[in-house]
Structure formats: C-alpha cells, structure tokens
Structure 1
Amino acid sequence: MYDLLAPFHVISYAGCLIQVFVIYSSALCDFSTLTVMAYDRYVAICKPLEYHSEMTMKKIAKCIIFCWLPPFICMSVVVLLAARLTLCGSTIEKLYCETWAIAKLACSSTTINNVIGYIVILTYFGHAVLIAFSYIHLIKNCRKSKESKYKFMQTCVPHLVALLNITIALLFDVFYSRYGSNSLPLRIFMALDVLFIPPILNPLIYGLKLTKIRKQVMRLFLRHK
C-alpha cells in the first residue's frame, strides 16, 4: 500500500517478491475459503441432520489448514522460482508486482516458472470444480421444498456473489497479464479490481448481512453519534 501511494513507484527486487507473495497468497486464500464454504453449505442444506456429526472440530481444523496452507505453499514455490531469475530489465507496467511481469524481464529460461504457474492455475480450477459439484447438489436439493429454497437464497446467493467477484477478478488478472493489450487505463482498472473490490465487497456481503454483526455496528455508530 505504501508503494501504491508513494509519488515514485520504485521498489526493491526483494520488496517486489514480497508484494507478489502477499497479494496472490491472499487472493488464493480467498478462493480456498470460498471452496470450504461451498462444502459447508452443501452439508448444512443437503444433510441438515448430519451437520454436527459431519462438521466436527477435527474436520473444521482440516478445513482451516486447507484454506491457508496450499496458497502459502503455492506462492512460496512461485516466489522462490522467480527469485532465481536473472533480470535484464527493471520496469513493470502495472501498479504492483506479479510473477508474469517479472518473467518478462528475465534473461534466463522461464520454462519451470511457466509450468509451475499453470499447475497452480489447474489446482485452483480443481477448487472451482468442487464448488460447481457442491452447487449442483444444492440446487437439486433446494427444488424440493420452500424451506430449502429460502435457505439457499439466504446463505448461498451471497456466497455466489463473492465467488463470482473473486473468480472474475483473478481470471482477468491472469489472462490480461498474459494476453491483454497495452491499454493503460484498462490495465490500471484490472489491477485495482483485484486489490480493492474483493476486500471491500466481502465484509459488506458477510458482515452487514448477519443480524448480530449489523446490530453491533449500528450500536457502535449510534454511540459515537
């Protein structure tokens, strides 16, 4: 954030790699969390009587590890591979650092970096398949009763909005970085979308929608008034 707000956008190579790790591990973490949430909703709506026996503390701990560990491992490997590259340039035409932009500046071979990059993309495509599988079962189940439809609208629609938001932002970021035009305004817009839209939208979707949180926020706001 300091680099974005600074009058001169200059960053060290180490700082650039840290920026890559923080931004993209955060985005992948978001996607992993949404995958776990899709599974949670599947169990809650399709197997309501089995929910507490299914979602034990042990399984919840595994879900939390699944949310955090794979993104950190993936991005650690990506960043370490980027760190070994010898660079012939120093200008990145984006608001923040990314591995593809670093690879474009490299004098050495980037084949391994590209292969690992596509493996990460395929891994998170697998996450998308799991989410789609969960929602196919959810939609089939929710057609059976009005109560299930109500549950779906209350819990799944916000999840789908957040999911579409992060998915579109990541897809645009990945494909535009590789195949996009040199249009500066569009490049800036896509970069800002990944950085700001999911962190702003998600608290609004999940925070203010929940009655207890909304009441607490209003209570704090009225107290200050």
Structure 2
Amino acid sequence: MMLNSTLSTLSFFVLGAYVHVGNLKYFYFLLTAMLYVVIVVANTSLIVVICVNRSLHEPMYMFLCSLFVNELYGSTGLFPFLLLQILSDIHTVSASACFLQIYCLYTYANIEFCTLAVMSYDRYLAICCPLQYNTRMTPDRAVVFIIVIWLVCFVKFLITLSLNLRLTLCGNVINNLYCRNYLIVKLMCSDTRVNNIYGLCAIAVTVVVPLLPILFSYMKIFQVCFSGSKQTRQKAISTCTPHLISLLNFFCCCTFEIIQSRFDTTSRSSVLQNFLSLYFVLLQPLLNPVMYGLQMSKIRNTCKHVLCYKLLAGRRDQMQMC
C-alpha cells in the first residue's frame, strides 16, 4: 500500500511484522498480557511503598520513584497497543496513534537515560562525599532535577515530531511490531536535511550530556573503591550494583534498537527481529523493580513490613469474625 501525500493527510500505517503471528496469536496475547500485568503491579507497588513511607522520602528513592513512573509510562505506550494488534486481523494503525506512540516511547527512553545519569551522580555524592551529601543533594534539589528531566525530554522530542509532520511520505508500510521514528523517516521522499541536522544535535545532547556525569561519577567511585577500606568497597558495591545493572541493560536496549532501525536485519529470523524490537521496552521495566526491590535494603524491609502487617491484620479480622 503506497501513498503519495503529505504527512498531514496520511490516515494510517501498516505494520508488516504481524504477518508471522499466525495461529499463535492467543499464546502471544496471554504472554504479553501477563508481562504487562507484572510490570504494572511491580512498579506501582514500589511507587506506593516509596510515597507512603516517610523514611524513603530521600533523594535516592525519589529518583527511583521517578524511574518506576517512567517504566509505567513507557509500558503503557506499548503494551495495550501490542495486545490490540495481536488479536486484530488487520494490522493497521492511524497516523495520529502512530506518532503518539513514537512520542511516548522516545520520551520514555530519554527520561530513562537522564534519570540514570542523575542517579549515578547521586551515588557519587553518597560514596565519595558522604559528609556533604545532605547539603549538596537535598529532597528539594532532587525534585528540581526530576521536573527538569521530564520537561526537557518532552519538549525536545516534541520539536522532532513537529519537524517530521511537515514532510512528504512515499509509503506507509512499517516492518515492525510498533511505530518507530527512524522507520517513518525512511519512508519520506522530501528534503530531510533540517530533520537530520536537528536529529544529530538532539542525539548528541541526549547521549553526551547524560553520559558525562555517568562516566565522571563511576570513575570517582572506582577510585574510592580501589583506594578505600573493605567496608567502603562493600558499601559502594551494595549501593551501585542495581544501578550499574540497570544502566548496562539500558545500553543493550539502545544498541539493539539502533541495530534494528539502522541496519538491514531481513536475513535474521522473524522471531529474533521481534524479540529485539520488544527488548527495548520490555526488559527494563521488568528488571528495575526486581533489582531495586531486592537489592535496596530499605525498600525490601518496608515491603516485608507492609506484607506482614497485612497478613496480621487479615488474621485478626478472621479471629474477630470467629
């Protein structure tokens, strides 16, 4: 299906990756629904735990709360769409819904990276400057960081999207499970120099600005680990391990996303291509609640306390009824 029209008059896109779903669509639907439920329950539970418990109203946990909210935001931009497309026999998506999904997923990725960068700086202050931590990273300053990250990421990609809306498309078939900005840009047959220049500048800002505090923070943390005492190394490992795993996983997600978007992957199996497409917004929302929920002792102890309180309350109610 080819369209020779401006983007403003385009009515829909065709998603070509769903031709391989076949008779397994109900299995894929159940699996996707289960994953989405797990993501929503896990991230929402930790958000509630952090918000309700006053002892967790510290910068580190405020950044974690922002991270969990972002996981819900990114997952909601993808999973309901996937569930609808899996069950549908006609795999089309309206142009407005497609660009809304692109906006959600790309702002999700930008917010994720920037939040991880600020968290690395927070860990640097806690480990390398413990005496100055409470003055240099206050809860109010953490709130300012979070607000700035969300606002800048929303505005930055809004400009990218507005630049794309003015261009002319020569096709409407996207060979992917969901909408991607670069795959739509590849369908454009008008001059994209302004888009490319702004895209390169945006990528440089998106990658370089968060990467600098990450590299600086972990260089300083590793220096303290190698030159400090055994107790200092243990503290650094316990506090940085979840963040490092989350950071490395996010880099893997971005690498797979770039490979899928920029290079020809038609020689690979459809199952592998679909897995790489979903890995970008699947594993991170699943991994972060598990890593931080299990590794951060305050969160773990608070969850145990809430669970035990509910169990005791339930038993007390049963005894009163008897």
How many corresponding residue pairs? 225
Q: CA offsets per residue over residues 101-147 of structure 1, 9 Å max, x none?
A: 11111121122222222222211321123201110000101221112
Residue aligning to 1:211: 300
Q: Does the alignment pair 1:130 with 2:219? A: no
CA distance in 1, matches of 2:255, 2:194: 21
* 2:236 maps to 1:158: no
1:199 to 272, 282, 285: 285
When residues 53 and 23 of structure 1 are mapped into structure 2, their CA distance, relative to the original with a 3 A threshold, is same
| 8 A contact 2:174–2:183 mirrored in 1 | yes
- Tell me if structure 1 keeps the 8 A contact 2:257–2:280: yes
- Say what the alpha-carbon RMSD is for the aligned residues: 2.1
Distance 2:165 2:153 in 1: 18
**1:4 CA displacement:** 1.4
For 2:201, the aligned partner's letter is I
- State the 4+ residue runs in structure 1 displaced beyond 6 angstroms: none
Which runs of structure 2 are paired with 1:18-167 in the superposition (5 Å)? 18-126=100-208, 127-143=210-226, 144-167=228-251
Aligned to 1:94, the other structure's residue is in SS state coil
Larger radius of gyration: 2
- List per-residue Cα deviations over 1:8-36 (Å, max 9, x = no partner): 32111111110001111111111111001
Q: Name the TM-score, length of structure 1 as normaliser.
A: 0.91
| 1:181 matched residue in structure 2 | 265
User: Could you list the per-position Cα deviations for residues 183-212 of structure 1 after superposition, in whole angstroms to 9, with x for gaps in the alignment?
Assistant: 333321111101211011111111233323
CA shift for structure 1 position 220 = 7.9
Identity of matched residues, %: 37
Partners of 1:38 and 1:71 lie apart in 2 by 19
Q: CA 1:164 to 1:108, structure 2 compared with 1: closer, same or farther past 3 Å?
A: same
In the aligned structure 2, how far is the partner of 1:171 from the partner of 1:111?
A: 24
1:4 equivalent in alignment to 2:90:
no
Unaligned runs of 5+ in 2: 1-78, 316-322
Q: Which has the higher strand share?
A: 2
| Conserved? CA contact 1:3–1:11, under 8 Å | no
